[in-house]
Amino acid sequence: MGSRQITEKSLAMLRSLPRISIGNLRDNPGHKKNSKRGRGQHGGDKHGAGNKGSGQRMNYMRLGYETGNNPFYLRMPQEHYYRGHHFRRQYPPLSLQQVQLLIDKNRLDISKPVDIASIVKSGLYNFFPDQKHFGVNLTDEGVDNFAAKINIEVQWASEQVIAAIERNGGVITTAYYDPHSLFLLKDPKQFFENGQSIPRRMIPPPDAIEYYTSAKNRGYLADPEEISQDRLRLAQKYGYELPKLENDPSYEMLCERKDPRQIFYGLDPGWVINLKDQCILKPKDEELVRFFAS
């Protein structure tokens, strides 16, 4: 091909190509190399952690914190969204379906009264007293399939849950435990190894007294006669025949309850459990006996 033909072909190509402008200028591929990693504002040196504060220290921000802005609960103060949130008691849920599963798998011994220590020992439920967890909230999931006769103590329960347990001839009690008592119930072995005496359980705070003294809620401080009357009322409301506990062969087990100052079944406040020698040391001084008495 001659030089004239090459020139004409090149000129024809230039006529078809767009004009050079700022809009169609591009760098060569791979020309720019980013030496820093991350997506930070200052070239990636923060690696997405921000500049100072709790964010770069991998801490969880407090409830309602909006990174220096005026938070929502202060912009709308009349709603009181977070008023007293750090005082509110939390009750991690445990459904009746899960309780039935624990019984079917022989992880719960229903021949004895069941409390929060027995439920935690099963290995399928956990709670954290240091995070304002105050015990078990027994929910009504699986209420139609629950068929166990059980004496159970929880911290919170609805009317449907109470009816489901009493329909099968069981007994339910709602009881309050202070945070120190909950730490003991969560890991009794660790406490017994320290060689300390079992403390007394504290009474409920003023805002929880009404709940735990109510026969409707089966509170542990309620009048037993009122509880008996409310058991009959609940059976009439839900249309089932209330089994007679007096004729049940497990009557003593079903009627067993803790003392309001007692933390563990069978162990009184003031006792020292010696796991090494496998013995129990009981106080003999009259002043100590009077102090730990209910």
Mean pLDDT of successive 10-residue stretches along the chain, which has 294 residues: 82 83 82 64 60 70 77 79 80 93 91 92 90 92 91 94 93 94 92 90 92 94 93 92 89 91 91 90 88 81
Burial of 194 (0-12, 13-18, 19+ CB in 10 A): exposed
Give dist(CA 181, CA 170) in Å, integer: 26
pLDDT score for 77: 75
List the strands of the sheet with 137-139, edge to edge.
Answer: 93-95, 137-139, 156-157
The pTM is what? 0.73
pLDDT score for 66: 78
| Number of other CB atoms surrounding residue 89 within 10 Å | 15
Strand partners, 171: 151
pLDDT score for 84: 77
pLDDT score for 50: 66
pLDDT score for 72: 80
Q: Checking phi first, is residue 87 left (phi over 0); if not, alpha (psi -120 to 50) or beta?
A: alpha
pLDDT score for 28: 84
Q: Which of 181, 193, 249, 256 is nearest to 220 (CA)?
A: 256
pLDDT score for 80: 78
Tell me the three state secondary structure of residue 36: coil
Tell me the three state secondary structure of residue 116: helix
Q: Which helix (H) or strand (E) holds 107?
A: none
Tell me the three state secondary structure of residue 88: coil
pLDDT score for 21: 81
